[in-house]
Amino acid sequence: MFFSSSKRKIIVNKVTDFLITYLGEDDNELMRKFRTNNSNELHENYDVMLAKLKQWADTSNFSMWDRSVIVGTIECSLRAANKSGCLPKLFVDDYIKKAHYAIHK
């Protein structure tokens, strides 16, 4: 294994906390933000979240594997939101690309 499972859990938990803080506590809140006039707020919150996660990854000297855990956690959450009908697929795909670029650059 390339990194410890305890480190992975720490990363997943922190990213999950960021997702809740910046995108919403549950699918209903996420859907409400997306479908109302707050969709601009959702975009801004997502960009802020990515910037803070990037800063955390940089200051923690995360490897590419660690950064992949960050992006994978975001992707899993967004894909689940798509499957539950909260977010459209094109939106989710765009957000996942943004995450890859922001975290790995």
76-94 pLDDT per residue, tens = 999 998 998 888 899 999 9
Taking each helix axis from N to C terminus, what angle separates 39-59 and 5-23, rounded to the nearest 10 degrees? 150
For residue 3, name the pLDDT band (cuts at 50, 70, 90).
low
Gap between the Cα atoms of 105 and 30, Å rounded: 27
Domain boundaries, the chain: 5-104
Residue 6 has pLDDT above 80, yes or no: yes
pLDDT over 80 (residue 48): yes
- pLDDT, mean of residues 39-52: 90
Question: pLDDT at position 1, please?
Answer: 45
Give which of 70, 34, 28, 64 is closest to 49, Cα–Cα: 70
12-39 confidence digits (pLDDT tens): 999 999 999 998 888 777 777 777 755 7
